[in-house]
Amino acid sequence: MYHYSPSQVRKIRACERVWYFDKVLGVERPETEAMRAGRAIHAELEAWVRSGIVPSIPAAREASRTVPRDPALVPELAVAEILSERVALIGAIDLLDLRDPTHPIVTDYKTLGDWRYMLAPYALALDVQMCSYAYAVLEQLPSADACTIRHLYIKRTGVRAVPPRLVQTVISRAHVARQRIAALKTMRRGDALRVLPALENVPATGDPDECVRYAGCWYWERCKPVKHSILPPDSARRPEGAEYATIDTVSPEVRATLLKTQKDRAEYEATAAEFRATIARLTSAHVQK
């Protein structure tokens, strides 16, 4: 089986070719200082919620003041869902708050260098990652009609740590269901891209903004020679009723990466079972209070 994560869905929507570079060709990007700092802050906040270990990184310590410790708060909860015989959806919720099981609160920590990268609440409501996590949680809580989703923004740069900023909004079960359908459609698109034989077959769907955003697309130099095939070449369009290509028809390079990233179904099932058990344990603890 292979999997999608919400960030892969976001990537396919931003530019199909970026996703193909990352997930099908398996191009390794070097880790940046910002990524390292973000991971360290996440780890310290997880240790704070799980074991009460006070963070040593000033930005994480500052953020921990806004994160209470409570047995009904679950840090770093792995999510997995089997979507079909071949595909799973995975992720990890930074902080799940089930103190009121009729209204769960899902929080994701976002580390950034500048506040201007924060999402507005209406954009947060459309965020594929937050909607996917809300869907997974609401599926286990039939009595909940809505979910609060939150981004806790933590500034990792600057001489002194500053208090984090919170952006949150409430999304209904119906909204989550609509976003879910959109995400599934994107994953179907990924299925079709996954078995294209080579980069030249993948449409460069990134709009010009995507190509030059921030420091520019990491793949610009490799993409440029084929960049102007902006419209999907015929080989990238699947005629109505035609079968997708199979793993046996792709190039050896693509096949090797696809095989490397596949896991046993049992691994995904174990994560999904653990997710369900955690939520069941917390909700039954709430009922017994």
- Under rule CB under 6 A, residue 60 binds ligand SF4: no
Residue 20 C-beta: closest distance to ligand SF4, Å: 8
Neighbours of 260 (CB within 10 A): 8
- Under rule CB under 6 A, residue 227 binds ligand SF4: yes
Residue 206 C-beta: closest distance to ligand SF4, Å: 3
Q: What is the phi-psi region of residue 216: left when phi exceeds 0, alpha when psi lies from -120 to 50, beta otherwise?
A: left
Selection from 103, 97, 91, 80 nearest residue 172 by Cα: 103
- Under rule CB under 6 A, residue 202 binds ligand SF4: no
Q: With respect to ligand SF4, which residue has the nearer C-beta, 139 or 210?
A: 210
Q: With respect to ligand SF4, which residue has the nearer C-beta, 9 or 223?
A: 223
In the list 115, 117, 220, 244, the residue contacting ligand SF4 (rule: CB under 6 A) is 220
In the list 17, 23, 151, 194, the residue contacting ligand SF4 (rule: CB under 6 A) is 17
- Under rule CB under 6 A, residue 204 binds ligand SF4: yes
Selection from 184, 168, 192 nearest residue 250 by Cα: 192
In the list 12, 105, 137, 217, the residue contacting ligand SF4 (rule: CB under 6 A) is 217
In the list 223, 272, 279, 282, the residue contacting ligand SF4 (rule: CB under 6 A) is 223
> d(Cα 193, Cα 261) in Å, to the nearest integer?
15
Residue type, 18: V
* Residue with the CB atom nearest ligand SF4 in the bound state: 206
> d(Cα 274, Cα 37) in Å, to the nearest integer?
29
Residue 208 C-beta: closest distance to ligand SF4, Å: 8
Binding part of the chain for ligand SF4, among 23-31, 131-139, 180-188, 219-227 by CB under 6 A, reads 219-227
In the list 22, 76, 210, 253, the residue contacting ligand SF4 (rule: CB under 6 A) is 210
Give how many residues touch ligand SF4 by CB under 6 A: 12
Q: With respect to ligand SF4, which residue has the nearer C-beta, 224 or 281?
A: 224
Chain contacts with ligand SF4 (rule: CB under 6 A): 15, 17-18, 204, 206, 210-211, 217, 219-220, 223, 227
